[in-house]
Amino acid sequence: MSRPTLLALQILVAVVCIVLWQVLSTVPVFGKILLPPFFFSNPFDVFSQIVKWFSSGVIWKHLGITLTESILAFVIGSAGGVLVGFWFARQPLVAAVFDPYVKMVNALPRVVLAPIFALWLGLGIWSKVALGVTLVFFIVFFNVYQGVKEVSRTVLDNGRMLGMSERQLMRHVYWPSALSWMFSSLHTSVGFAVVGAVVGEYLGSAAGLGYLIQQAEGVFDVAGVFAGMFVLSAFVILIDYGVTLVERRLLVWRPTASDGRG
């Protein structure tokens, strides 16, 4: 299928959905409105809410806060995950000792930690960052751990036979291998950083997209909730696109499924 046709069809889906939503929430069918505005609002109100946020400029502050929290969570979580992942992979004893605890902490639904972080770190950005870090850390940690452990035996032997010292092996073999695993999970970990930030804001904060949605919900402003959701999705899609660009730049050496050559 050609690109323009595909794009046209994709837009068609959105148009149909929005029109249905608008019609069903304003025009009575057999004397009954199927989507009561109180619960479902309507596309026009949602859209005007979004326009109002952007034209008055309120939204930028919230977007900025959520973005800052996400970036901090991602950077701190990734750094921790890389360090601990490397450490565990190179010291099997340490990994064996901590294994049950890592599994235990990872099994815990992170949402329950939010109140504790709020208590410890206050209602500012750091409690949200902490929540994001607990999510990002484990994804990066597991990937780096795997990446270091699953370095190809032959490539490693080749490095040794070429005369690499332990430090050079680290730099030229283990490190790139671990990074490639980490980058392959980049979409997931960046996504989780945003989830951590927004959930944290939702559960208690004074700014951010999560806060905006929670505020609207508190006053039964359904249009505000939907507007917040749309802005949030657009925000995540933009970040995801950025990640794709970074990935393409950093993983040029990796074969894609389509160009498998013998």
Partner 1 sequence: MTTPTAVALEDAKVAFRLGDGRVYTAVEKAHLAVAQGEFVAIVGPTGCGKSTLLNVAAGLLKPAAGSVKIFDRPLAGLNRDAGYLFQADALFPWKTALDNVAIGLEIKGTPRAEALPRAQKWLTSVGLGAFAGRYPHMLSGGQRKRVALAQVLIRDPKILLMDEPFGPLDAQTRQVMGNLLLELWNADRKAVLFVTHDLEEAIALADRVVIMSAGPSSRIIGDWRVSLPRPRDIFEVRLDKEFHALHREIWSVLKDEVMKGYAQSTHAAEAV
Could you list the residues that contact partner 1 (CB under 8 A)?
Answer: 152, 154-155, 157-164, 168, 172-173, 176-177, 180, 252-255, 259, 261-262
Least CB distance to partner 1 at residue 119 (A): 44
Number of H helices, E strands in the chain: 13, 0
Least CB distance to partner 1 at residue 102 (A): 27
Smaller CB separation from partner 1, 74 or 174: 174
Token representation of residue 244: 């794709």
Smaller CB separation from partner 1, 115 or 176: 176
Least CB distance to partner 1 at residue 95 (A): 21
Q: Which residues contact 199 (CB under 8 A, 6 or more apart)?
A: 111, 114, 131, 210
The Cα-based distances of 151 to 53, 54, 145, 157, 252 in angstroms read: 50, 49, 10, 10, 19
Smaller CB separation from partner 1, 103 or 167: 167
Least CB distance to partner 1 at residue 172 (A): 7
Least CB distance to partner 1 at residue 139 (A): 21
Smaller CB separation from partner 1, 162 or 246: 162
Is-contact 244 256, C-beta < 8 A?
no
Give SS3 for 32: strand
Least CB distance to partner 1 at residue 12 (A): 39
Give SS3 for 252: coil
What angle, rounded to 10 degrees, do the helices at 175-184 and 58-90 form? 140
Smaller CB separation from partner 1, 2 or 258: 258
Smaller CB separation from partner 1, 183 or 202: 183
Is-contact 42 22, C-beta < 8 A?
yes
